[in-house]
Amino acid sequence: MEKPIIRNCSDQFWFVILLFFLLLSVLLCFDYSAFYDAPNNGFLFSVTKQENPFAIAGNKTSFNPDPCKSRYIYIHELPRKFNYDLLEHCEILTRGTEKANMCPYIENLGFGPEIENSQGVFTNSSWYFTNQFMLEVIFHNKMKSYECLSNDSSLASAIFVPSYAGLDVSRFLWESNEKVRDSSGRELLQWLASKPEWKRMWGRDHFLVSGRIAWDFRRQFDNASLWGSKFRFLPESMNMSMLAVEASSWKNDYAIPYPTSFHPSKDAEILQWQSKIRKQKRAHLFTFIGAARPELENSIRGKIIDHCRNSSFCNFIDCSYDGSEKCDNSINVTKVFENSVFCLQPSGDSYTRRSIFDSMLAGCIPVFFHPGTAYSQYLWHLPKNWNKYSVYIPVRDVKEWNGNVEKILLRFSGQEISAMREEVIKLVPSIIYADSRSKLERFEDAFDLAVKGMLEKIERVREMIRNGKDPALGFADEDHYKYTFSNY
């Protein structure tokens, strides 16, 4: 009586086995690729007909992760008045730039006119007369060539706002009516807040760039006598991040390098330049290119100039009045920095100055007097271990300071100087903006590091949201210790 039961169970067992293999064959032959869609033809998984998704080759599965995962960026298509119209009417951009005509600096995607005859100073044709205020144009053109752009904002990790905010506000910074200074920024924010992308994170995944210092957008009160616009204190703007050549003390402002004149199109041009400055003979122990700031009570520049003039080891290039033209010439400036071991970088009208990056590009070791000039600014681009590439002479009180720059710099041995200079030379790729018409293979430039830093900041905000925390906490708070000597 038991045998029929055994035969029936056996038949069912083999039927299940047969059905399993038939189903597995169908699954393995099916084309899964139609189910995966990502911008720029980037697939999350690439599974095609008759391909075994479990096949292993070289201890790696055939799954190809999307190289742009968590890196997609969406660019807003702004009304032209916030960017392109400003360039088309470039004659209105001269005020506050010390330029009679800003139009030539728009050439070559914002790099400016090409330097055709460098008198043997430069090693290739990737050098331009670049104006620092063109950073937002340069960054925008770089972003248009970014490898992980998305036309689908829902897939983007960040939203780039291509407003030429610095060029825009420069037209009105000297306007006595503060409402006029604020009007364009208000219009931009109203436009952004009306878009569906805004409501996803209420602007905390949005960022923009300025070729002016962030303080120009940080007027705290409606008082015509106060400097700047109040753009960064408007509610919507407080939810956004700004990348600027100098950050303010608020946590949603981030500093990125001033543009220099070097915009290489390939790695070989960087290596060629690094080789040149590594071999360069330097006649002067230290150099200062600049002018005094007698109107600024706490400026150290006057004492530094006195030090320079009284030292046979110093080369001082006076940029006041009749000397300003030679100080604005990339060829002259690079030639001076190339011939100096150390370059003094005191604060100017604000904490930072373009000269920091011009001097480092020439292989000159920077000497800083305040942490706000570099150390607490360019966190994505300069090493935390600042004494490896620079000299720090803290001046907490200008009136009481009686240090001697010459004596301090003479203490460094030849071996120490060589080591610091090599660190400076290694940093060259990190502080330049490569040509947006090509792509570097080996190096990350200042743009790459800025984008990476911004994506990481936005991802941390997303993590707070995922953990049920308020993303507004600390996002736009003021850091009262950022520009103090407490950490340096």
Q: Is-contact 203 234, C-beta < 8 A?
A: no
Topology, domain 267-431: Rossmann fold (3.40.50)
Is residue 27 scored above 60 in pLDDT? no
Q: In what order do the strands lie in the sheet with 314-318?
A: 314-318, 284-290, 340-345, 365-368, 391-392
* Alpha-helical regions (H) of 30-162: 84-88, 135-144
∠ CA(427), CA(135), CA(367), 5° rounding?
Answer: 40
The pLDDT-based confidence of 174 (bands split at 50, 70, 90) is confident
pLDDT score at 33: 39
pLDDT score at 7: 45
List the one residue out of 206, 258, 194 whose CA is nearest residue 232: 206
Q: Is-contact 368 392, C-beta < 8 A?
A: yes
CA 61, 67, 70, 75 dihedral sign is: negative
Q: Is-contact 457 474, C-beta < 8 A?
A: no
d(CA 203, CA 197): 8
Is residue 5 scored above 50 in pLDDT? no
d(CA 422, CA 277): 10
Name the segment(s) of the chain with CATH classification 3.40.50.
Answer: 267-431
pLDDT score at 96: 63
CA 258, 157, 106, 438 dihedral sign is: positive
**68-104 pLDDT, tens per residue?**
999 999 999 999 999 999 999 998 887 666 666 889 9
The pLDDT-based confidence of 1 (bands split at 50, 70, 90) is very low
List the one residue out of 332, 391, 392, 394 whose CA is nearest residue 362: 332
